[in-house]
């Protein structure tokens, strides 16, 4: 059930990418897709009643291993979040450049070749 | 009852995303997507991923600043929602196709609350949890995975970040002509 | 943009608050970078927080003060230094143990929680420097003060 809600978030972002014409709106929809995918990956590693994958002084190693959530999706999503920020910076600078060149944010008016 | 809380939070995230996509004012949609990101970091806390929660909050702040820069630039150039029937039809068909594929995909997913590493005894995550502290000396297993067991991923990530920043710098650079016109420019630096 | 005068920042209230806050935000970012092997966080999160401290200076105190605190040349240099630290840790693994990225220098024996994290901590410092200065560079370019307005005024 929770997976379907999360997939719904991805579909909302997909709808935004397909329907909206404003470049900032398209960037925002891509962000929503990214959030949905991150959430989907982390949800798979969750254990019911799990504890964070951080050893504390004095914990019993064996019981802790039985309780901890999966650290692998968390590590991969951590890199993905920062990559997402770099890609967002690239997209925002592209959108600012397009606005300077065409004077509009509507991608359907940017079709003509110029310059 | 973490599942109920997570479900409510995800529903709120969907509402925020719909608001962000449907509203015609760019400033409103940027603020709505900020709400979605902060809710996501709360969800990460409930999923016992504190590393992700910290990173998501910090990244969300910078994201909002960058998006505001792009949105304020346009001086409320709100593009009217001209909806052609054929566009909406294509979008709905795409979304239905994706939903079908997703329903097929979720049949193979593990149940919520039972991670994949429980199914296979030799899953890499079990090794990481078992040997992480002894082999790397890092108590935070996520850091151990990130910088020791899977350091090549991090190297690739750093490369991508480096390239994205170089790309943004070169896209936003002023034309080189201006600098050639002003040979006396360099002496001030 | 490059032909304009540098912005002078916001009102006195914002500047005063920023003056109190910026040191603490930067300190928090450095703490998160240095203790990434024991507590949640690490090079990525700490780098982003430190970058937001510099971004606060750039936006609240004006471009002149921001560039005086952390200039474009310094950001470019620190970015390369961070990447080189990360690669140097990986290369030292190759030299010492014969495998690229091998952890050659575990900070402490198992079960001993010290402030010292060995090669993981060194990598965290490199990644933190890289992320911080990269994001600061992007923000600096997006807010239009990276290409020498001082001389073009």
> Residue ranges per domain, chain A?
2-45+69-103
| Per-residue pLDDT at B73 | 61
Residue A41 has pLDDT above 80, yes or no: yes
| Best mean pLDDT range from A1-15, A54-68, C101-115 | A1-15
Instruction: Please state, as a whole number, how many other Cβ atoms lie within 10 Å of the Cβ of residue B81.
Output: 12
| Per-residue pLDDT at C73 | 86
Is there a contact between B125 and A76 if contact means CB atoms under 8 Å apart?
A: no
| Per-residue pLDDT at C2 | 45
Tell me: the pLDDT tens digits for B151-182?
A: 888 889 888 988 888 888 888 876 644 544 54
Annotated domain spans of chain C: 12-152
| Per-residue pLDDT at B40 | 94
* Residue of chain C with shortest Cα separation from B170: C141
| Per-residue pLDDT at A80 | 92
Is there a contact between B14 and A74 if contact means CB atoms under 8 Å apart?
A: no
pLDDT one digit per residue (tens) for chain B, 189 residues: 788 899 999 999 999 999 998 888 888 889 999 999 999 999 999 998 899 999 999 999 999 988 988 887 655 555 555 667 887 888 889 889 988 888 888 887 777 877 877 777 788 888 888 877 777 777 888 888 888 888 888 889 888 988 888 888 888 876 644 544 544 444 444
The angle, 0 to 180 degrees and rounded to 10, between the axes of the packed helices A71-102 and B124-136 is: 100
Q: What is the ipTM of this complex?
A: 0.89
State the smallest CA–CA distance between residue A54 and chain C in angstroms: 7
| Per-residue pLDDT at A36 | 93
State the smallest CA–CA distance between residue A30 and chain C in angstroms: 20
Tell me which chain A residues have a C-beta less than 8 angstroms from the C-beta of B71.
Answer: 24
Tell me which chain B residues have a C-beta less than 8 angstroms from the C-beta of C120.
Answer: 136-138, 143-144, 147-148
Instruction: Please state, as a whole number, how many other Cβ atoms lie within 10 Å of the Cβ of residue A114.
Output: 6
* Residue of chain C with shortest Cα separation from B50: C40
Annotated domain spans of chain B: 1-76, 117-179
| Per-residue pLDDT at B42 | 94
Q: Most C CBs within 10 Å: which of B45, B56, B58, as the mutation test of the C interface?
A: B58
Minimum-distance CB partner of A92 among C42, C111, C142: C142
A-contacting chains (≥3 CB pairs under 8 Å): B, C
B-contacting chains (≥3 CB pairs under 8 Å): A, C
pLDDT along chain C (153 residues), means of 10: 61 88 92 86 89 90 81 87 90 81 65 69 90 89 60 35
In 3D space, the residue among A65, A4, A62, A68 whose CA is nearest the CA of residue A36 turns out to be A4
In whole angstroms, what is the distance from residue C48 CA to residue B36 CA? 19
Tokens 């040349």 locate to: C73
Q: Which CATH class is domain A2-45+69-103?
A: mainly alpha
């Amino acid at each position: 059930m929770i997976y379907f809600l999360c997939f719904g978030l991805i579909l909302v972002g997909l709808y935004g990418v397909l329907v909206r014409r404003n470049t900032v709106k398209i960037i925002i929809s891509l962000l929503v897709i990214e959030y949905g995918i991150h959430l989907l990956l982390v949800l798979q590693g969750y254990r019911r009643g799990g504890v964070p994958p951080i050893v504390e002084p004095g914990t019993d190693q064996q019981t802790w291993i039985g309780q901890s959530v999966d650290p692998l999706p968390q590590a991969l999503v951590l890199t993905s979040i920062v990559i997402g920020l770099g890609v967002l910076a690239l997209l925002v600078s592209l959108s600012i450049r397009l606005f300077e060149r065409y004077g509009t944010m509507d991608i359907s008016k940017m079709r003509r070749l110029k310059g | 009852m973490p599942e109920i809380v997570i479900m409510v939070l995800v529903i709120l995230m969907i509402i925020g995303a719909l608001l962000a996509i449907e509203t015609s004012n760019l400033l409103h949609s940027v603020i709505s997507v900020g709400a979605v990101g902060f809710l996501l970091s709360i969800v990460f806390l409930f999923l016992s991923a504190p590393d992700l929660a910290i990173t998501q909050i910090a990244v969300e702040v910078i994201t909002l600043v960058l998006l505001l820069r792009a949105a304020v630039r346009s001086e409320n150039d709100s593009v009217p929602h001209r909806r052609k029937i054929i566009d909406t039809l294509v979008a709905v068909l795409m979304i239905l196709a994706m939903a079908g594929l997703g329903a097929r995909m979720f049949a193979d997913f593990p149940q919520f609350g039972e991670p994949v590493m429980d199914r296979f005894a030799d899953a890499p995550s079990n090794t990481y949890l078992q040997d992480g502290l002894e082999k790397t000396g890092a108590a935070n297993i996520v850091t151990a995975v990130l910088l020791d067991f899977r350091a090549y991923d991090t190297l690739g990530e750093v490369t991508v970040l480096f390239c994205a920043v170089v790309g943004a710098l070169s896209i936003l650079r002023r034309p080189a002509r201006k600098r050639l016109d002003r040979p006396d420019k360099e002496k001030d630096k | 943009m490059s032909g304009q005068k540098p912005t002078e920042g916001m009102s006195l209230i914002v500047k005063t608050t920023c003056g109190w806050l910026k040191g603490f935000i930067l300190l928090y970012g450095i703490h998160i970078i240095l203790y990434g092997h024991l507590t949640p966080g690490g090079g990525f999160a700490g780098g982003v927080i430190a970058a937001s401290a510099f971004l606060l200076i750039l936006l609240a105190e004006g471009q002149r003060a921001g560039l005086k605190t952390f200039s474009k040349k310094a950001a470019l240099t620190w970015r390369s230094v961070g990447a080189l630290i990360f690669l140097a840790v990986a290369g030292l693994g190759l030299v010492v143990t014969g495998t690229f990225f091998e952890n050659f220098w575990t900070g402490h024996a198992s079960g001993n929680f010290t402030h010292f994290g060995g090669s993981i901590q060194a990598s965290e410092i490199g990644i933190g420097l890289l992320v911080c200065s990269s994001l600061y560079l992007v923000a600096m370019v997006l807010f239009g003060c990276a290409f020498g307005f001082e001389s073009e005024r």
